[in-house]
Amino acid sequence: MSDWNFDADFSGVTAASGMGAPSREGSFAVEIISTDTTETRKGAPRARFTARVVEGDMTGRTIYDGLNIPRNAEEWSKLSPFWAALLVSVGHDTSKWGKKKMSAKAVLGRRGYVYFKPAPEGSYPTVKWITEADYEATKDVYSEDSTPTSMNGVESEDTAALDQVLDF
């Protein structure tokens, strides 16, 4: 038997148990807490992101996402809208960038916003990076305590407004 000890400050710490992905669909404010790289099954390089929910009833939950890293101009033309969505979500104005060397520093530790839908059985969850304005417009639509008519006075059955905000 070993005897170990250390100083610990548990102020503001949420226990890890039960802190998987959000259990419901919705728009969430997150902080990107880590990023690394991997390869897809087809051998393409991929950046992975771990984001922690920082507001609301799902605070502390973790959302995982990833984007392929382009290897050439053709791949960039297909992937650039998704990278731009992520970068704008975390506060960058990519419209003024032109050519730029990208790294994990552009996102790590930054606050962003995602639309998340849990995975159907045997599949992957839906994760879409959205702007702060889109988050503010949709954050109460799916919240645990929302009522069916809680989207800024728009009936939830009239999903056109939500579809317009989340039209990717």
Q: Where are the domains of the chain?
A: 26-142
Residue 11 phi/psi, 5-degree rounding, is: -60, 125
Q: Of 142, 131, 140, give the one whose Cα is nearest residue 166.
A: 131
Q: Is the pLDDT of residue 63 over 50?
A: yes
How far apart are the C-alpha atoms of 138 and 115, rounded to whole Å? 9
Q: Is the pLDDT of residue 94 over 60?
A: yes
Residue 95 — pLDDT band, cuts 50, 70, 90?
A: confident
Q: What is the pTM of this model?
A: 0.75
Arithmetic mean of pLDDT, 130-134: 96
Which percentage of the chain shows pLDDT scores above 90?
A: 63
SS3 83: helix
Q: Which residues contact 45 (CB under 8 A, 6 or more apart)?
A: 37, 38, 39, 68, 69, 71
The answer to whether 51 touches 65, Cβ cutoff 8 Å, is: yes
- The mean-pLDDT minimum among 73-82, 106-115, 137-146 falls in 137-146
